[in-house]
A and B are shown apart, each in its own frame.
Chain A
């Protein structure tokens, strides 16, 4: 029996733990910010997905590895933006939001992502992210040096919220 459970509650501490390999094949499904935006998604792109050479159908280059998370937003979400943090000057974490349903979304075989829903190195606006399932792909900016990678944070200022797709009872 399958339920669609709207989960607006935080499950853990202030910072989320890294879950999975953060790749296209095994994205991080763990980010569940609550009404206060907790937890922050803190991770590193280093050692994550290496097959993406660009984002937004070639619109931006991906100089190094990319961290891939997956979230489902719904109309009940209270967040208005997802802020991107971690700019060091030599590594500029940039967020590309891609619907999981579009052709080429997180396509490691082709080495690119599909059409971006939105993108930002500062803050992606909820108004540009209609309810649905998305990859949140974080990688260096187009102008960062080849091989650039580093730590980043994604901070929502409210619930997305997420929807568990496969919750089995009994």
Chain B
């Protein structure tokens, strides 16, 4: 069964089929108050030192995308949007696009910034989230993506996908199952195209994450930068687009 929870696409279909036309309908901002689909937007320390704005064109052939950037030299800086689910979701899939073309080389091996979080309905082990997805440094200044899942009775479990991101548009998809013992599981796909579900790029098994209940929200954007990211990549714009979340079926691209 394909139960679609919410399509929070930041790229709206061009009006009258005129993609790129001046008539394109991008919302004024990402939140519902501005015509977007997200519940809220957060910019820390303030809107003047960070970027969180609709840009054009989109990253998937559509009209609009979301641009985000952090304040330089401030590891508490954040720029993200959040959608609060009506219910706690124990079976959760999400897909989104990141455009890394404006991020300079990750020369410091400790460069990292979170781009997606799945907050939980219940706090457990001191954490109010089930999953973090981060951009981290790869060899030679490249960028990779790391998945950090909460585990019941243990510290968080992380895994970095061993292939560098392309300098441009990258597709990320996750399938997070919340449950006791081996029922708690994360599969992820990085730049894995397909109309049907391909083999996972990686998996974090035996998460035993039932205590967190389920995914209560989706948070997309930049937060929790390490000092190397904050010091060297503040002001650099990350593009985001095509966020979609579902309960059961492959989203893909």
Contacts and interface: CB of A to CB of B under 8 A. Distances in A.
Contacts of B159: 61
B23 to A, nearest CB: 44
Given A54-B158, A118-B227, A125-B227, A143 B109 contact: yes
Contacts, number: 85
B22 interface: no
B170 interface: no
Contact of B226 (A59, A92, A111): A59
A112 B155 CA distance: 7
Contact of B138 (A118, A120, A143): A143
A156 to B, nearest CB: 16
Contact of B155 (A57, A60, A61, A143): A57
B110 A119 contact: yes
Chain B contact patch, size range? 20 to 34
Interface string A15-36: 0000000000000000000000
B160 interface: yes
Contacts of B136: 59-60, 142
B155 A59 contact: no
A143 B144 contact: yes
Interface in B160-189: 160, 162
B110 A94 contact: yes
Contacts of A121: 108-110, 228
Contacts of B158: 54, 58-61
Given A56-B226, A121-B228, 13 more contacts: A58-B157, A61-B160, A92-B109, A111-B155, A118-B75, A120-B227, A128-B75, A141-B110, A142-B109, A142-B136, A142-B144, A142-B160, A143-B109
25 contacts: A54-B156, A57-B148, A57-B155, A58-B155, A58-B157, A58-B158, A59-B146, A59-B148, A60-B110, A60-B146, A61-B146, A61-B159, A107-B155, A116-B226, A118-B227, A119-B226, A120-B108, A120-B227, A120-B228, A122-B107, A122-B108, A128-B227, A142-B109, A142-B136, A143-B138
